[in-house]
Amino acid sequence: MTDRPTQCSPAARIQWPTFALLAVCYIGIATVTYFAAILSYFVAIPLLSVLLALHSSLQHELLHGNPFKQAGLNDLMGFPAVGLFIPYLRFKTTHLAHHQDEHLTDPYDDPESQYLDPATWQRKPQWLRRIYRFNNTLLGRMLIGPIIGTWDFYRGDLKAAVRGDKHILQAYGLHALGIALASLWFIGVANWSIGAWLLAAYGALSLLRVRTFLEHKASPSVDSRTAIVNDRGPFAWIFLFNNLHTVHHKHPRLPWYLLPACYEKHQDYFDKLNNHYHYSSYWLVFKHYFFTAKDPVPHPLLTPESRSKSHTE
């Protein structure tokens, strides 16, 4: 394999484009919510969904150490819980755990895995299996994926909190404060409907499911598990080029605006690295998988013999 990238790293101490975009995002959220009566909710809710999806992508930048070197300062910038559903500190903890690439797609060790243990799958009733199969189409992932994903997320956190995990309790406590802070604007100033806010936040999760739908797949080779979607359209901007996901996993501290140049400079390397797990656009992703499942629900490579420890659901 040639053209191995060794210089795909930021040089600036402060990533000003990220700081500026975060300011634009908050201003955009404030503007859309404040002028909702003029725009009408039919326009304001979709616009807010896009902005909240962008905000989540910016939180992803923050947890990876951008735009500032001080983690506490980055965390503070993502504190207002405008997206409602996912506590930022839990997002940070689980996502950084997800970056242990040797565990990618493992339904136990990868917090973001979309697969189930085959043994767990066998115990599911038929009606629930049909729901999970529908969720493995892009249409299903956008319609019901936020419900399934958020429910699984909360259920896991609740179990850990009951076992006495104080960090989870702290994260949800701070999240409640973040929602209260956001509510001062949404409800107190902009008179935004709580129902419309929930709908827009759900729409943001639905948009984000387009990115996460195929960014990883089960493979014996660790490097073959992560995708490249070489798109430069609206989705790529909403996702802050995290669609170039192989690049991101190899350079997690690289800020969003440097990802395309890194990929273009070393495209041959990255395409060989992930065994050409590659799509040229999100249009092709929709075309191939909107009604068709990309993967089975049970992890195709996970067997009792492949695991050195036992797990219980």
pLDDT tens-digit readout, 189-200: 999 999 999 999
Q: What is the chain's mean pLDDT, rounded? A: 91
Tens of pLDDT along 84-110?
A: 999 999 999 999 999 999 999 999 999
Given this model, what pLDDT does residue 37 score? 86
Inter-CA distances, 195 with 184, 198, 259, Å: 16, 5, 36
Given this model, what pLDDT does residue 86 score? 94
Q: Where are the beta strands (DSSP E) in the chain?
A: 228-229, 278-279
In this structure, what token pair is assigned to residue 52? 């909240």
Contact 137, 290 (CB under 8 A): yes
Rg (CA), the chain: 20
Overall pTM > 0.95:
no
Residue 1 has pLDDT above 80, yes or no: no
Rounded to 5 degrees, what are φ and ψ at 102? -65, -15
How many Å apart are CA 167 and CA 209, to the nearest integer? 27
